Structure 1
């Protein structure tokens, strides 16, 4: 993407005012985004984005600059602009650049940009038809298709030189069901760090059917009661609560500045023994998986909480300086326009020993949440508020009527401590996570779990 001589010149220019570390991030990205409504392709956007980011450290000072000018003069200018914010006395020498290689954990069979658009449209149309024909009450279906190929080069003054190709594919299906004056929505959005084969090898009919089924089921739902109840949270995207309310609190972005309730608590019991919480970027072809992070560190499996004990944090290169701890391969960014910081990949609660049937049978009364919706969280405190897309009453150990209007309100670290059953059916859900370094693909996951008590906000009427 850039020749080695130019890379060395850029890294040297970035250190010209006394920085002690410099880094270059080069990106060339191809994207396709299609939307299908009313059985027709409504929008078709394809694009290419390329640019370069340059970062300089001096102790605990970090400066970032980026440019879309790929001429030698333009790149050197960006490096010097970053350097001008640094005021040091000692000029360090670059370590010799050594190109690193690795075996990909995210193999790709078919690059999306080499697949004809008609094949992509056919996949979308089939998902549309499956959802639309599920039930007569389905009034509208929207199918969104996305694929991208991101080529990156990362080099730094410590001698690192590494390149990577990231290919991701995703489809989002939303179905709307209407009866009389009532309207309900269902959604499913699977994705993978994989090529076009993801759409042909996955059960897209199931995903489309689920989106429609949720919408139709909620038409018959009763208002959810309010109060404090045991809550059963199903697998896959149910993990979004702990991603938001606990995962962000374990990122060095918050921990290094003591802006997290988990700061300075390594070795403490922060959850029951049945809870192990993991961030693993090495899972083959998963949506949040990475070969290397955006600082060139190889992906790894980071056990954050093991049998209830806080074992570690997610740490990027800059915050490793603040904390005096090594990077965990967690430096990620949306694009060259963002400096990287500590972020999650595939974060999940490890499977336990209970079956889903045992969890439900052992619950005298409570709420079962099958699919979570969106929510809000305060990363500093862990306080959260999440909507539930599909919920049911649990009564005498059995699933009862569907419930609508449910929200879960609580505090992530406290909720973590109240997990009293963990299932054996681990599943992952694809999503996008926004933070300081932009929006990035992540998986959230867990098996079915039961929390002994959560405040449930419901709908008036019961």
Structure 2
């Protein structure tokens, strides 16, 4: 991607005004996006994006710049531009680059760039037909296909020189149901750190059928009661609440500046003993997984909360300086246009001992949130607000009427303390996570859990 000699010269130029660390991030990305609507491919876009990011540290100063000019002259100009924002007395020389060979932890069988577009379109049409045929009330189905290949080279003044290839694929299915008086959506968006083999092995009957089933079910749903109730949150994308309301609060981006309720609390109890919270970038071929992070560090399994005790944070290279703690392989960025910072990969509540049947049977009255929708959170306080895409009333230990209009309102650290049952059916959902370093693929997950009380915003008073 770039010669070793050019990289060495760029790293040296970035330190010529007294910086104590410099880094080069080279990215070459290929993407393919298709949209099918009304049975027809409406959009088909493929592209390539190439660029180089250059970063310089001086103590707790950090400067970042990027360029698409890969000539030696262009790179030296960008490096010196970053260097001029740094002022130091001692000029240091970079360590000799030592290329590190790694084995890809997420094997790819079929590179998407080698696959003809008609095969990609066939996957979309099959999903469309399954979703559309589910029920006569399905009025519209949209299917989005995405694949990407991201090649990166990371080198720094400490002698690191490493390359990596990431390949991801995803299918997003949205169904719209209508009974003439109202419309209801349903959505499913499976994805993985895999090539086209992901689509060949994807259970389209399940995913496309679920998108339409959700939409159709919600047509007959009754208004959700409002008030404070025990809430059962199902597995997979149910983990989005703790991803947003707790996970971001465990990133060094917030912790290093004391902008988190979890700052300076390692060793304290922050959850019941039945809760263990993990971020694991090594899970084979999962959507949020990486062999190395965007700073060249190997990803790892980071146990953040163990049996209710706060054990650690997600830390990137720059914030490790602020905190006096080692990087946890958590430095991530959307692209070369962003400086990396601490981010999640695959974050989930670990499996517990209760079965889903036991959790429901032990709930006298409450709300069962089967699928979560979108929401918002204040990362500094952990206050959140999440819509529920599919919900049910729980009464006398049994699932009852489907409910619409449910919104869960609370505080992440407080909700964490109120988890009183954890199931044994861990599963992951896929999404895109936005933060300071852009939008990145991330898994959220958990088994079914029960929270003893959450405020529910609904459209009618509780009986």
Name the TM-score class by shorter chain. Answer: over 0.9
Partner of 2:236: 236
Is the Cα–Cα contact under 8 Å of residues 392 and 401 in structure 1 kept in the other structure? yes
Kindly report which structure 2 residues correspond to 1:403-418, keeping only aligned pairs within 5 A, or say none. Answer: 403-418=403-418
Partner of 2:30: 30
Is the Cα–Cα contact under 8 Å of residues 406 and 458 in structure 2 kept in the other structure? yes
Cα displacement (A) at 1:102: 1.6
Kindly report which structure 2 residues correspond to 1:39-188, keeping only aligned pairs within 5 A, or say none. Answer: 39-188=39-188
Is the Cα–Cα contact under 8 Å of residues 226 and 461 in structure 2 kept in the other structure? no
Count of residues in Structure 1 that have an aligned counterpart in Structure 2: 462
Is the Cα–Cα contact under 8 Å of residues 227 and 461 in structure 2 kept in the other structure? no
Is the Cα–Cα contact under 8 Å of residues 377 and 383 in structure 1 kept in the other structure? yes
Is the Cα–Cα contact under 8 Å of residues 65 and 82 in structure 2 kept in the other structure? yes
Give distance in 1, aligned partners of 2:102 and 2:48: 26
Cα displacement (A) at 1:460: 3.1
Is the Cα–Cα contact under 8 Å of residues 223 and 405 in structure 1 kept in the other structure? yes
Kindly report which structure 2 residues correspond to 1:302-321, keeping only aligned pairs within 5 A, or say none. Answer: 302-321=302-321
Is the Cα–Cα contact under 8 Å of residues 333 and 439 in structure 1 kept in the other structure? yes
Cα displacement (A) at 1:181: 1.2
Partner of 1:6: 6
SS of the residue aligned with 1:170? strand
Give distance in 1, aligned partners of 2:353 and 2:70: 55
Partner of 2:291: 291
Partner of 2:363: 363
CA RMSD in angstroms, aligned pairs only? 0.6
Partner of 2:437: 437
SS of the residue aligned with 2:225? coil
Give a deviation string over 1:161-217, Cα, whole Å, max 9, x none: 000000000000000000021100000000000000000112122100000000000
Structure 1 gap segments, 5+ residues each: none
Structure 1 length as normaliser, TM-score? Answer: 1.00
Cα displacement (A) at 1:461: 6.8
Kindly report which structure 2 residues correspond to 1:214-293, keeping only aligned pairs within 5 A, or say none. Answer: 214-293=214-293
SS of the residue aligned with 1:226? strand
Give distance in 2, aligned partners of 1:289 and 1:349: 17
Give a deviation string over 1:131-185, Cα, whole Å, max 9, x none: 0000000000000000000000000000000000000000000000000211000
Structure 2 length as normaliser, TM-score? Answer: 0.99
Query: Could you tell which deviates more after superposition, 198-207 or 208-217?
Result: 198-207
Give distance in 2, aligned partners of 1:451 and 1:202: 32
Cα displacement (A) at 1:432: 0.2
SS of the residue aligned with 1:89? coil
Runs ≥4 residues deviating over 2 A: none
Give a deviation string over 1:93-112, Cα, whole Å, max 9, x none: 11111111222111000000
Is the Cα–Cα contact under 8 Å of residues 36 and 142 in structure 2 kept in the other structure? yes
Give a deviation string over 1:427-460, Cα, whole Å, max 9, x none: 0000000000000000000000000000000013
Query: Could you tell which deviates more after superposition, 360-369 or 97-106?
Result: 97-106
Q: Does 1:423 align with 2:416?
A: no
Give a deviation string over 1:267-315, Cα, whole Å, max 9, x none: 0000000000000000000000000000000010000000000000000
Kindly report which structure 2 residues correspond to 1:345-364, keeping only aligned pairs within 5 A, or say none. Answer: 345-364=345-364
SS of the residue aligned with 2:441? strand
Give distance in 1, aligned partners of 2:169 and 2:77: 36
Partner of 2:457: 457
SS of the residue aligned with 1:120? helix
Give distance in 2, aligned partners of 1:80 and 1:198: 44
Give a deviation string over 1:338-374, Cα, whole Å, max 9, x none: 0000000000000000000000000000000000000
Structure 2 gap segments, 5+ residues each: none
Give distance in 1, aligned partners of 2:103 and 2:453: 45
Give distance in 2, aligned partners of 1:254 and 1:435: 11
Is the Cα–Cα contact under 8 Å of residues 223 and 461 in structure 1 kept in the other structure? no
